[in-house]
Structure 1
Amino acid sequence: MNQDEKLSIIKDILLTDEREFVSSIEKKIKILEHTVNEKKQLSAKVNPIIDEKLQQFIKEIPNSLGPTITKTLQEEIKNSQDAVVEALFPILGKMIKRYVQHEMKLLSEKINNQVNSTFSFKRFFRKAKYKASGIDESDLIIQEQTNTKIEQVIIIEKASGMVLAEYSKTKMADEDMVAGMLTAIKSFVEDAFIKESQDLHYIEYDLYHIHLQNFSSFYIAVVISGAYNVISKDKLEDKIFKFANKHKVVNLLKNKRLLTQKLEDFFKNGSI
């Protein structure tokens, strides 16, 4: 036996365990490659781990993320109060309107009951009129007392008193002068009565009534001629809230031309 043969035998004896170990690793690598490359097999291995982690995460959310989320929302609402108010104004307005409408319906029924208990020639002819028109008699009585007409509508920025948009069929008054006057009166009255979060809603000027609908960053002034009572006020507020919500007025404040067009289209019939 020569020297090379002897070295080969010694090498085989010494490296047998290492070869077996390398062979074992190669088999495991092949199995791992097969598992990674085969989606179903990988999913079978990974999905249970992910599901377990997700369930654990869901259980820990109230304790781990709850306080952080609550604090973040509180800070965001605090920093964006104007935006929150603008978003809630139309919704709250509608809720209040529904309540007022319900109360007006009750009032109408009470008037109707009272009318039915009395008799007069005027009531006789009125009764014939409401039967022909299909309008409830109590509503007709109220309607006869009101003849309201929208003369002018102005949208005014609260902070500066600037006119953002204006519409009127006949030019009643200079809108900038009216806006300045209304803003000055509002500021004076609201400052004079030391009450927080109180707004001026109505001004009477000679034969005209000026209804002020306040929003967060602006207010809408509506000049009205004729009778102005609870019913006409209720209808006008409905109309204003509908306009503000339908056209997303807060998003149009910087586009005076488009806002004026929307204002004209909505109020052009002049009725409440």
Structure 2
Amino acid sequence: MNDSDKLLILKKLLLAEDRDFANGILQKLESLENTVNIEENLSEKVNPIIDKKIEDFVALMPKKLGPTITEALDFQIKNSQDKVVDALFPIIGKMIKKYIQQEMKILSDNINNQVQSTFSVSGIKSKAKSMFKGESKKKRIFDELSNSKIEQIFIVEKGSGALLSSTSNDDSIDDDMVAGMLTAIKSFVEDAFAKKNQSLELIQYELYNIYIQNFNTYYIAVVISGVFDATFKNNLENKLFDFATYHIKNDLSNGIYLSEKLQELLNHE
């Protein structure tokens, strides 16, 4: 065998190794391409890694993110106290009212039970006597004449006295002027008495009562005709708390929306 034959054999051996190496790389590339382009194959490879990362993240999240979240909440509360108070005030107010109402109901039930057990016979006689005298009819007539009715509602910004929204069945009244007047009276009374954390709640004007529900950055003034008793006040407070919770939600800029909702409150009273 001469040198040429030996060189030819060597070339064949070398080319065969290169060809086998190239084919191996090509097969790996085809396998990788199938893994990347076919969703099922990719999911089999990637999903276990993602699941493991999520498990590790959930386990470490309280320790890693807890202080950061707490710090962010503290910063947000300190810099948005008005919004936080306005959001929580209706909810906390209703909780307090419900607690007081429940305690008053328990007290009332106890009193009624004791009165009924002690004066049941005399009570029946008194009721029968009033029926014969026509007192029940008189009471019905009196109740009809003393019905309470909401005449106007104002939402006013504290401090500036700017009218944020209002509704009324009487278009002849200047709502902005009324809002400014109410704020002036409210500020005068509160400054004059200088009682800490106390706000003006009620203004009586001849046959009208102006009830003021105070919030942190604004207040709602309701003009009422008729008798303004405890029952009516309690129902009105609940409606105003609901209104603040479901319709204001820290956004006092949409005056048209608030006006529409105030009109609904006025019409459905």
TM-score, with length taken from structure 2: 0.72
Answer yes or no: is 1:222 the counterpart of 2:222.
yes
C-alpha RMSD of the superposition: 3.9
Q: Which runs of 5+ in 1 are unaligned?
A: 133-139
- Contact 2:87/2:250 (<8 A) preserved: no
Looking at structure 1, the residues matched to 21 and 234 of structure 2 have their Cα atoms a distance apart, in angstroms, of 89
Q: How does 1:1-272 map to 2 (within 5 A)?
A: 4-12=4-12, 17-110=17-110, 112-113=112-113, 116=116, 117-118=118-119, 119=122, 123-124=127-128, 148-169=148-169, 174-192=174-192, 193=194, 195=196, 197-248=197-248, 251=251, 253-256=253-256, 258-268=257-267
Q: State the distance in 2 between where 1:30 and 1:82 align.
A: 62
Contact 2:154–2:165 (8 Å) recurs in 1: yes
**2:112 counterpart letter in structure 1:** N
Aligned length: 257
Quote the offset at 1:16 in angstroms.
5.8
Question: What is the Cα deviation at residue 237 of structure 1?
Answer: 0.7
* Counterparts in 2 of 1:29 and 1:151: CA distance versus 1, 3 Å: closer
In 1, Cα distance between equivalents of 2:130 and 2:150: 27
2:159, 2:183 within 8 Å by CA — same for their partners in 1?
no
Contact between 1:150 and 1:223, CA under 8 Å: does it hold in 2? Answer: yes
Whole-Å Cα distance in 1 between the matches of residues 130 and 156 of structure 2?
43
Distance change >3 Å, CA 78–CA 111, structure 1 → 2? same
Segment of structure 1 superposing worse, 246-255 or 25-34: 246-255
For the residue of structure 2 that corresponds to 1:65, the secondary structure is helix
Q: CA 1:166–1:27 in structure 2 vs 1: closer, same or farther (change >3 Å)?
A: closer
Q: Secondary structure at the match of 2:27?
A: helix
Q: Give the stretch that moved more between structures: 185-194 or 215-224.
A: 185-194
Cα displacement string for residues 62-96 of structure 1 (whole angstroms, at most 9, x for unaligned residues): 12222222222332333333333333333333323
- Provide the C-alpha distance between the structure 1 equivalents of 2:33 and 2:171, rounded to a whole number of angstroms: 83
| Rounded Cα–Cα distance in structure 2 between residues aligned with 1:125 and 1:172 | 49
Kindly, what percent of the aligned residue pairs are identical? 50
Instruction: Flag structure 2 segments of 5+ consecutive residues without an equivalent.
Output: none
Quote how far apart the aligned CAs of 1:161 are.
Answer: 0.8
8 A contact 1:100–1:234 mirrored in 2: no
Change (3 A) 1:60 1:104: same
3-state SS, counterpart of residue 216 of structure 1: coil
Q: 1:12 to 1:170 in 2, by over 3 A?
A: closer
Q: 1:37: how far off?
A: 3.9
What amino acid maps onto 2:261 in structure 1?
Answer: K
**Which residue number corresponds to residue 135 of structure 1?**
none
